[in-house]
Amino acid sequence: MLRGLYNWVMRLSASRHAAFALFAIAFAESSFFPVPPDVMLAPMVLARPERTWRYAAICTAGSIIGGILGYAIGHELHPVGHFLLAITGNAGAEPFIRRQVDHFGVLFILALGLVPIPYKLITITTGMFNFPLWQLIAASCVTRSVRFFGVSALVRRFGPTLLPIIERRLLLASSLVVAAAVAVLAAVHLMSHS
């Protein structure tokens, strides 16, 4: 399944609908969709390196605007927010997120916006406990820009040489990304208990 998704994204990344699809995936991932936009951004940068910064900007804008929808879902539609978190494997995360945001404030949002965890976890839960929307938007502008422009720069610089390795070791590469996200969350959790 992972190979099929990868091949489909590689084909779509070179199509004439690639920019729109990238925006749509980034928008949806910040509010309800389970697939992160990085899986589309990286192949698009590889396919059209001259459009690297345009694609990074499209991805960032989609993620920020989708984050506002995620916040609205959490703020206005609590049952829908709980349902979306549950079906994406994040049920019961709200108390943890609230404790961390209460303790670390915007710094926690900035940190989680950089790692490959579902951003909807932040946007929906901050809406649930009435975190100031302007602070979420400001943090999203910073953290999503750093993430997607950083991913784009790395892929543009190292992608062509790494692509054959990634393709041969697709499962290993995706497992490493998940392991990194778990390590960051564990570190944040330990910091909050010390």
- Select, from the ranges 31-35, 44-48, 54-58, 108-112, the one with the highest average predicted confidence (pLDDT): 54-58
Query: What is the Cβ-side half-sphere exposure of residue 193, based on CA atoms within 13 angstroms?
Result: 7
d(CA 7, CA 13): 10
Quote the CA–CA distance of 21 and 108 in Å, as a whole number.
29
Q: How many CB atoms lie within 10 A of CB 47?
A: 17
Is the pLDDT at 194 greater than 70? The verdict is no
Q: Please give the residue that has the higher pLDDT: either 182 or 150.
A: 150
Task: List alpha helices for the chain, DSSP H.
Answer: 2-13, 18-29, 38-47, 52-76, 78-87, 94-104, 106-112, 120-128, 133-168, 170-193
At 127-165, the pLDDT tens digits run: 989 999 999 999 999 999 998 998 898 888 887 665 565
Residue ranges per domain, the chain?
A: 2-193
Neighbours of 23 (CB within 10 A): 22
Residues near 33 by Cβ (< 8 Å), separated by ≥ 6? 25, 120
Q: pLDDT tens digits for 73-90?
A: 999 988 888 787 777 667
pTM score, two decimals?
0.76
